[in-house]
Amino acid sequence: MRTIELLAPAGDLECLETALYFGADAVYVGGPMLQLRAANVGLTMAQLAQAVETAHHAGRKLYVTVNCFAQNEEISEAGPYARELSALGADAVIVSDLGLISEIRKAAPSLPIHVSTQANCCNYAAAQVYHALGVSRIVLAREMTLPAIAELRRQVPEELELETFVHGAMCMAYSGRCMISAYLTGRSGNRGACAQPCRWRYTLQEETRPGEYFPVWEDERGAALLSSRDLCAISFLDRLAEAGVTSFKIEGRMKSPFYVATVVRAYRQALDALARGEMPDLPTLFAELHTVSHRTFSRGFYFGEIPSESAADDGYAQDCVFAGVVRAAEPGFITFEQRNRIRSGDRVEVLSPSRAGDAFTMGTMTDPQGLPTDDARLPAALYRAACPFPLSPGDILRLRRSKTRT
């Protein structure tokens, strides 16, 4: 288990630093072009250079997603872009399009290529072909079972690495290839602009009753019949490792630093326990994963087809609210950046690489003007407060809310 890579997402530099601080071995980010996410989670070239420097300074790796399905006019851009990424020191690019793989390999032969899950590689013959093209890693199709992964591992060269998703949102379409958003809104999920219509609420209209709309209910939170549950593989990471997977990937380049910190920390703790020959404390880790926004957890396809009664999503839930980020600390005091309103008297919990759930009652704070206040209500403003715990910059503050679901 010590050779397993924990790979985290980052939509901006703050999430990158958070992922590294909470224990990720590598981080994947999008750049200014050809990445399969909305433009607001794509770093500029200057930011990519900073991201590479930050990751390498911490002794970790930085991968760049180049995973959209390219159009004719974009093919000529791939080579120069790959040379830029190689010059910056990116440790690999994640690519789905066969044409882009060819162009990148020719333009930057020393830049490692990881085949994206969007390429839906789900058999050893396809993996062998990708390896022959110079690919160093396959991000396996999410539809693969554990036995299928093990068989693929046996049939491909030892140096070909295998990566698979272990946590986060799952797409209802095959390996993410969906046209619903493009059809309904003109925004293609295959071009990084998915409007997520599978998670909208729908109604039925009976043919002889035009204008009468009947809601489709699952429970009191509404309906999301087309949407999938979230993947959570924290309880069988050892099985994935036994099957031959060497990189465990967390989904979520559009998630908050709170989400990234919580999920990375939970999986870091699970992997470290397994490396010591111990069983992870799963009840505690599941409780931590429930503190951030998520849908009901599923084991995905790893143990076979998803049962129909557990395939549909039943809405979002989270047990805690992202309250702030510690920016400075001194004995007995912290300065935090507000992310959600905190009032004096609130019970504030702490999340750091070494602790989770320790709580203290917030007292009177000092606002950005140096004045005492009982209400930290200015978004992103810096507040100073007493804290009984020795914290560090990068630690997270959260507020617990009533549970909506187990």
Long-range contacts: 300-309, Cβ < 8 Å, 24+?
Answer: 300/142, 300/165, 300/170, 300/231, 300/233, 301/142, 301/143, 301/144, 301/145, 302/144, 302/145, 302/146, 302/233, 302/236, 302/239, 302/240, 303/145, 303/146, 304/145
> Per-residue pLDDT tens for 195-224?
777 666 666 677 777 777 665 555 544 444
CATH number at residue 333: 2.40.30.10
Radius of gyration of the chain (CA): 22
Residue linked to tokens 């590689």: 121
Please choose, from the candidates 81, 24, 82, 34, the residue with its C-alpha nearest in 3D space to the C-alpha of residue 54. 24
Smallest CA-to-CA distance from 161 within 228, 113, 224 is with: 113
Strands 230-232 and 297-298, by their bridges, are parallel
Cβ–Cβ < 8 Å for 82, 103: yes
Residue 180 is which amino acid? I
Residue 280 lies in a domain: yes
Q: Are residues 238 and 380 in the same domain?
A: no
Considering the domain architecture, whether residues 378 and 233 belong to the same structural domain is answered as no
Do residues 275 and 377 both lie within one domain?
no
Position 348, amino acid: V
Q: Let me know whether 382 and 253 are in one domain.
A: no
Tell me the C-alpha distance between 326 and 61, whole Å: 25
The model's pLDDT over 222-262, given as tens digits with 9 standing for 90+, comes to: 444 455 788 999 999 999 999 999 999 999 998 999 999 99
Cα atoms found within 13 Å of the Cα of residue 11, Cβ hemisphere only:
16
Return the closest-CA partner of residue 133 out of 104, 154, 153: 104
The mean pLDDT value for 315-341 works out to 95
Mean pLDDT of the chain: 89
Instruction: Please give the tally of structural domains in the chain.
Output: 2
pLDDT-derived band at 12, boundaries 50, 70, 90 = very high
Tell me which of 55-69, 171-185, 385-399 is least confident. 171-185
Taking the alpha carbons at both ends of the chain, their separation in whole angstroms is: 29
For residue 16, tell me if it sits in a domain.
yes
Q: Using one digit for the tens of pLDDT, what is the confidence trace for 272-323?
A: 999 999 999 999 999 999 999 998 899 999 998 766 555 555 678 899 999 9
Instruction: Check whether residue 166 and residue 278 sit in a common domain.
Output: yes
Residue 69 pLDDT class (50, 70, 90 cuts): confident
Mark whether 31 and 81 lie in a shared domain. yes
32 domain residue, yes or no: yes
Q: What is the pLDDT of residue 256?
A: 95
Residue 183 is assigned to a structural domain of this protein? no
Does some domain include residue 19?
A: yes
Same domain, 246 and 276: yes
Residues 147 and 235 in one domain: yes
- Asked if the model's pLDDT at residue 405 lies above 50, the reply is no
Note whether 267 and 365 are same-domain residues.
no
Decide if 205 is inside a domain. no
pLDDT at 70: 87
Cα distances (angstroms) measured from residue 209 to each of 212, 223, 334, 371, 395: 6, 22, 62, 63, 56
253 and 394 in a single domain? The answer is no
Same domain, 298 and 348: no
CA distance 105 to 135: 9
Taking the CB of residue 166, how many other CB atoms lie within 10 A of it? 26
pLDDT of residue 350: 97
Examine the domain organization and report whether 109 and 247 are in the same domain. yes
pTM: 0.88
Q: Which domain holds residue 332?
A: 320-400
